[in-house]
Chain A
Amino acid sequence: MSIDPSKVRNFCIVAHIDHGKSTLADRLLERAGTVALRDMRAQLLDSMDLEQERGITIKSHPVRLDYEASDGQEYVFHLIDTPGHVDFHHEVSRSLAACEGALLVVDAAQGIEAQTLNNLYLALEHDLEILPVLNKIDLPSARPDEVTHEIVDLIGCDESEVVRVSAKTGEGIDELLEAIVRLVPPPKPHRDKPLRAIVFDSVFDAYRGTIAYVRVVDGIIRTGDRIRMMGGGQIHDVMEVGFFRLSQIKTESIEAGQVGYVATGAKSVAAVQMGDTITSDAHPAEEPVLGYVEAKPMVFSGFYPIDTDDYVDLKEALEKLQLNDAALTFEPETSVALGFGFRCGFLGLLHLEIVQERLEREFDLELIATLPNVEYHAVLQDGTEVKVENPSKMPDPSELSSVHEPFVTVSVITPKEYVGGMMTLTIERRGAQTGMEYMDTDRVKVDFEMPLSELVVDYFDKIKSVSRGYASLDYELLGYRESDLVKLDILLNGEPVDALSVIVHRSTSYEWGRDLCRKLKELLPRQMFEVSIQAAIGGRVIARTNVKALRKNVTAKCYGGDVSRKRKLLEKQKEGKRRMKSVGSVEIPQEAFFAVLKVER
């Protein structure tokens, strides 16, 4: 389908979470006439239940809009709604590669936040034209002039270039549409060059296989073409191509400069990796659009079904989720305490939470998820390096030469009165400050380097609480560094509970040990025998406590002939007990595993 390239505008919207990205997208869709009023609902592009509920975007959502501008010309907009959360940086990055411009949306009340900055830098890296948009100007707490100044300071544009809108009321949307026509550069396509199309997302469809969401950079792609993935090397036959309205519209071809989809028939999204470049098998291009970076899991957790009979269901559910989520990894593992489960890898904590929630909600599974951890690199005495994704698999201290862990740079933007509390918290987490600058008279941006492991547990929640919810945070992987780390094991009556092992810095290991023992003492119900709880490092016990034996649990009266009631009670208790995990003769209720995740530090 031929469209005059000078009439095409490809852009995405980037923003800090909650700054109104999806609502703004809704408004553009409505104004550009793509959505009939009867189909209109909030956050139209966020199709997953979870996206709607949490108000976050998880997948990329492209859509084509037809817009008649005030110059009387018809324009074709390709809008790509991108995930805002740091976990999904890879997605954002790929979406940006598909565009010429980015709307940088800033909340007029909140001002610039940590993710605004990171997304902006990312957009600049991809050489995009930045269109600053001040959203939520209808809010009583809006500070449009101040925030406009912040934006001007940040990107060095002219004050008049900042478009003021309210996605909620619709104010300013017409001006924004005109600004897009005026300021976002049209693509400079090379129709005649060999095909290159960047895959910025993909979904799995039961009938058409993996469907790649693409931006064609050079050349043309037609139904029936044989294509090759430049990074992954897979060959596919194109079953269908098309573009996006709210649903997919089939066409004969998509050309350089356009955004659309390619149905490949591939049986898994892994065969069409996001970020890869599609080229023609017959006339391949020389260079891919982007350097090919595979999304790598950063955070790991063991997922175990509470009911051991659900193992197969869990496996199937993970396989299904993986069809649409190439970044999710999992492999079977066995725990003495929890039985059979999977070690799953995630891009970050939000990704973990989303997968867990989907497994529980969409697949009706009840899970125990172990304390999230990072991947450690253990160097043995003989120099070999072992990757450790499960703390209980950390080699014995006697075999170890050194342990390396991932570090991240963290930027926190916070009102200045909370800097003190935030610093204290961060230093406790082994963070080292690397920079500090004032965003305006009131707000400060502080940069740190810290181990990812210290961030993944509850750092974000803690930052929110010390700043009364005002601070925002973003982080980026820095690399591996050597740290003085130890594996802390928990033993119940002398038997190690693998699912409770943690890897901690030596300086905080005693505290950890003590707190874990104390927390477990609270959570373990008294049993028929005394239970000793010990925390140990490499066989040396560093903290201990015990749970006294239960002495009484009996129905005193079994009387009047009502035996059925007693027996049914027993049957109910049996059902409850079946869900209990045990190590040796010690029975551990699932709450104990959950709540250990929340040890107060």
Chain B
Amino acid sequence: MVTSRDWSVYVHVPFCEVRCPYCHFACFVNQDPDFPLRYVRAVERELDFHSGRLDSARIVSLYFGGGTPTALSAPARKELCRWLGEELRPRFAPEAEFTLEANPESLDPRVLDDWLEAGLNRLSIGIQTMHPKVLEFLGRRSTPASNLRALDLACQRVDNVSADLIVASPLDDWTGLLRSIDAITSHPVSHISAYLLEIHADTRFGREVAQGLWQPSPNDQQADLYLRLVQELADRGFHAYELSNFAQPGRESRHNGRYWTRDPYLGLGPSAHSFDGAHRWWNHRDAHRWCESVEAGTLPVEGREHLDRRAVRRERILLGLRRDEGIPEAWVEDRSRLVDDYLRAGLLERVGPRLRATPEGWLLLDEVVLRLCD
């Protein structure tokens, strides 16, 4: 058991007002007015299960993701923020990062005030795009106007704001993408997460594509968009510190960074994942099942695994190459012929004793990692 270390805490909020057609995360549209408060109490109780683990530890980052954390009912939010202020905040390390994911249309000054009071200091807004047609295609309820209002509000109240973008949906082109970048960077936003649209089988998009109703944008086009995006954001002062994450110097997400550096984190709420340095475990995906388990006083864990040496090695390579810091070349010295091929093809580059992926290499990272791992 790993104790007396810095921990991160992730809290999964499974509520959404609508289900986005591309999203495969654990969330649902709740109809039971009492459930959100029950959920919050269960989160509080779930943390208690781990009090032994956390007593001597400091929380260096806290992240509320979902789902839509800003969509919590008022009583539930009030209770959650009270608990955060009273129970969790005292365990924060100095300068702990506390992030909340927010949808533009549910970001309200009063909502924000409650969270700020609980210690919030970073906001991640799901802008996705500034293109009205693409917003509609993505099933988002926000409009370019509500996106702008949310950015204005966020940047007034919070110092550290990140915007999410979805790149290369079928209607997306460089002009549209540039418009979104313009709108975001004309605000004092310090961080951008830009994800190439992924089609997952168990989503509405996945079913539509399987039925042949439409096709994802061609890979070559996605690659072109991505490479231009990386260059454009770099020109505007946002460097790619992970293949989908861009930040101004010093504004990298500390919480997400800890996933990629394999630091310990505790996940609370349905489907949340945890890692203690040697084991990974994950909670029941179904919110009610998770809740009932916690209420019954049992760990709501659906599965766990111990990582053997080979798994650790694979994780290090696959996570490390996602970051701009890359990996020590020594980790893959048994694959030197491949490494040479990739260096020659411009997929990897050498920085001192380390290897890192170029933007072209990031685009092919699943292929590269597959061959570099034993």
Distance between A562 CB and nearest chain B CB, rounded to angstroms? 5
Given the interface pairs A556-B195, A559-B256, A561-B272, the reply to whether A550 lies near B367 with Cβ below 8 Å is yes
Give A571's nearest chain B residue, CB to CB: B314
Residues of B within 8 A of A573 (CB): 366, 370
Give B225's nearest chain A residue, CB to CB: A552
Residues of A within 8 A of B196 (CB): 552, 554, 556
Q: How far is the CA of A519 from the CA of B25 in the complex (A)?
A: 40
Asked if B275 and A561 make an inter-chain contact with CB atoms under 8 angstroms apart, the answer reads yes
**A residues 493-539 with Cβ under 8 Å of B?**
528-529
Asked if A577 and B370 make an inter-chain contact with CB atoms under 8 angstroms apart, the answer reads yes
Residues of A within 8 A of B322 (CB): 558
- 15 CB < 8 A contacts A-B: A528-B342, A551-B363, A552-B220, A553-B363, A553-B365, A554-B363, A555-B366, A556-B196, A556-B244, A559-B259, A561-B10, A561-B274, A564-B282, A566-B318, A577-B370
Asked if A585 and B366 make an inter-chain contact with CB atoms under 8 angstroms apart, the answer reads no
**A residues 550-593 with Cβ under 8 Å of B?**
550-564, 566-567, 570-571, 573-574, 577, 585
Cβ of B319 under 8 Å from chain A: yes
Asked if B243 and A554 make an inter-chain contact with CB atoms under 8 angstroms apart, the answer reads yes
Asked if B367 and A553 make an inter-chain contact with CB atoms under 8 angstroms apart, the answer reads yes
Asked if A585 and B280 make an inter-chain contact with CB atoms under 8 angstroms apart, the answer reads no
Given the interface pairs A555-B366, A561-B259, the reply to whether A567 lies near B273 with Cβ below 8 Å is no
Asked if B223 and A567 make an inter-chain contact with CB atoms under 8 angstroms apart, the answer reads no
Q: How far is the CA of A567 from the CA of B314 in the complex (A)?
A: 7
Distance between B227 CB and nearest chain A CB, rounded to angstroms? 9
The 7 residue pairs across chains A and B that have the minimum distance between CB atoms: A551-B223, A561-B273, A556-B196, A556-B195, A552-B219, A552-B223, A554-B365
Q: How far is the CA of A550 from the CA of B345 in the complex (A)?
A: 12
- Residues of A with Cβ closer than 8 Å to B? 528-529, 550-564, 566-567, 570-571, 573-574, 577, 585
Q: Which of A550, A558, A561, A585 contacts B364 (CB 8 A)?
A: A550
Q: Contacts A554-B363, A556-B197, A556-B244 known; list 13 others, CB within 8 Å.
A: A529-B341, A551-B219, A551-B360, A551-B363, A552-B223, A556-B195, A559-B259, A560-B259, A560-B272, A561-B267, A561-B273, A563-B259, A567-B314
Asked if A585 and B367 make an inter-chain contact with CB atoms under 8 angstroms apart, the answer reads no
Asked if B314 and A553 make an inter-chain contact with CB atoms under 8 angstroms apart, the answer reads no
Q: How far is the CA of A9 from the CA of B340 in the complex (A)?
A: 78
**B residues 205-257 with Cβ under 8 Å of A?**
219-220, 222-223, 226, 243-244, 256
Give B256's nearest chain A residue, CB to CB: A559
Give A527's nearest chain B residue, CB to CB: B367
Residues of B within 8 A of A574 (CB): 370, 373
Residues of B within 8 A of A529 (CB): 341, 345
Q: Which of B244, B272, B273, B364 contacts A528 (CB 8 A)?
A: B364
Cβ of B324 under 8 Å from chain A: no
Asked if B370 and A560 make an inter-chain contact with CB atoms under 8 angstroms apart, the answer reads no
Residues of A within 8 A of B368 (CB): 528
**B residues 170-212 with Cβ under 8 Å of A?**
195-198
- Residues of B with Cβ closer than 8 Å to A? 10, 12, 25, 65, 195-198, 219-220, 222-223, 226, 243-244, 256, 259-260, 265, 267, 272-275, 280, 282, 305, 311, 314-315, 318-319, 322, 341-342, 345, 347, 360, 362-371, 373
Asked if A554 and B364 make an inter-chain contact with CB atoms under 8 angstroms apart, the answer reads yes
Q: How far is the CA of A561 from the CA of B260 in the complex (A)?
A: 9
Distance between B286 CB and nearest chain A CB, rounded to angstroms? 16
Asked if B363 and A552 make an inter-chain contact with CB atoms under 8 angstroms apart, the answer reads yes
Asked if B366 and A564 make an inter-chain contact with CB atoms under 8 angstroms apart, the answer reads no
Q: How far is the CA of A115 from the CA of B367 in the complex (A)?
A: 54
Residues of A within 8 A of B10 (CB): 560-561
Give A529's nearest chain B residue, CB to CB: B345
Asked if A550 and B219 make an inter-chain contact with CB atoms under 8 angstroms apart, the answer reads yes
Asked if B243 and A556 make an inter-chain contact with CB atoms under 8 angstroms apart, the answer reads yes
| Most B C-beta atoms less than 10 A away, residue of A556, A559, A585 | A556
Residues of B within 8 A of A570 (CB): 314, 318, 366, 369-370, 373
Distance between A587 CB and nearest chain B CB, rounded to angstroms? 9
Given the interface pairs A553-B366, A554-B243, A562-B273, the reply to whether A585 lies near B314 with Cβ below 8 Å is no
Q: How far is the CA of A571 from the CA of B259 in the complex (A)?
A: 20
Asked if B198 and A567 make an inter-chain contact with CB atoms under 8 angstroms apart, the answer reads no
Residues of A within 8 A of B342 (CB): 528
| Most B C-beta atoms less than 10 A away, residue of A529, A550, A567, A577 | A567
Q: How far is the CA of A552 from the CA of B360 in the complex (A)?
A: 8
Q: How far is the CA of A566 from the CA of B318 in the complex (A)?
A: 9
Give B322's nearest chain A residue, CB to CB: A558
Give A555's nearest chain B residue, CB to CB: B366
Q: How far is the CA of A550 from the CA of B256 in the complex (A)?
A: 29
Q: How far is the CA of A253 from the CA of B360 in the complex (A)?
A: 82
Asked if B367 and A528 make an inter-chain contact with CB atoms under 8 angstroms apart, the answer reads yes
Q: How far is the CA of A571 from the CA of B226 in the complex (A)?
A: 27
Q: Which of B226, B274, B318 contacts A552 (CB 8 A)?
A: B226
Distance between B279 CB and nearest chain A CB, rounded to angstroms? 10
Asked if B341 and A563 make an inter-chain contact with CB atoms under 8 angstroms apart, the answer reads no
| Most A C-beta atoms less than 10 A away, residue of B243, B322, B367 | B367
Residues of B within 8 A of A558 (CB): 259-260, 319, 322
Asked if A557 and B195 make an inter-chain contact with CB atoms under 8 angstroms apart, the answer reads yes
Q: How far is the CA of A585 from the CA of B345 in the complex (A)?
A: 13
Distance between A114 CB and nearest chain B CB, rounded to angstroms? 45
Given the interface pairs A551-B364, A559-B259, the reply to whether A564 lies near B305 with Cβ below 8 Å is yes
Asked if A564 and B243 make an inter-chain contact with CB atoms under 8 angstroms apart, the answer reads no
Asked if A552 and B222 make an inter-chain contact with CB atoms under 8 angstroms apart, the answer reads yes
Residues of A within 8 A of B367 (CB): 528, 550, 553
Residues of B within 8 A of A577 (CB): 370-371
Give B362's nearest chain A residue, CB to CB: A554
Q: How far is the CA of A505 from the CA of B370 in the complex (A)?
A: 42
Give A585's nearest chain B residue, CB to CB: B341
Distance between A551 CB and nearest chain B CB, rounded to angstroms? 4
Distance between B134 CB and nearest chain A CB, rounded to angstroms? 16
Q: How far is the CA of A567 from the CA of B342 in the complex (A)?
A: 22
Distance between A577 CB and nearest chain B CB, rounded to angstroms? 6
Distance between A460 CB and nearest chain B CB, rounded to angstroms? 36
Residues of B within 8 A of A559 (CB): 256, 259
Given the interface pairs A555-B366, A561-B274, A574-B370, the reply to whether A567 lies near B195 with Cβ below 8 Å is no
Q: How far is the CA of A552 from the CA of B359 in the complex (A)?
A: 11
Asked if B273 and A564 make an inter-chain contact with CB atoms under 8 angstroms apart, the answer reads yes
Residues of A within 8 A of B280 (CB): 563-564
Given the interface pairs A560-B25, A561-B10, A570-B369, the reply to whether A551 lies near B220 with Cβ below 8 Å is yes
Q: How far is the CA of A217 from the CA of B280 in the complex (A)?
A: 78
Q: How far is the CA of A566 from the CA of B316 in the complex (A)?
A: 12
Residues of B within 8 A of A571 (CB): 314
Q: How far is the CA of A567 from the CA of B229 in the complex (A)?
A: 27
Give B259's nearest chain A residue, CB to CB: A561
Given the interface pairs A551-B220, A556-B244, the reply to whether A563 lies near B275 with Cβ below 8 Å is yes
Give B260's nearest chain A residue, CB to CB: A558
Distance between A573 CB and nearest chain B CB, rounded to angstroms? 5
Asked if A567 and B363 make an inter-chain contact with CB atoms under 8 angstroms apart, the answer reads no
Asked if B366 and A557 make an inter-chain contact with CB atoms under 8 angstroms apart, the answer reads no
Asked if A554 and B366 make an inter-chain contact with CB atoms under 8 angstroms apart, the answer reads yes
Q: How far is the CA of A585 from the CA of B220 in the complex (A)?
A: 22
Q: How far is the CA of A573 from the CA of B243 in the complex (A)?
A: 21
Given the interface pairs A566-B318, A577-B370, the reply to whether A561 lies near B265 with Cβ below 8 Å is yes
| Most B C-beta atoms less than 10 A away, residue of A552, A562, A571, A577 | A552
Q: How far is the CA of A557 from the CA of B256 in the complex (A)?
A: 11
Asked if A567 and B311 make an inter-chain contact with CB atoms under 8 angstroms apart, the answer reads yes
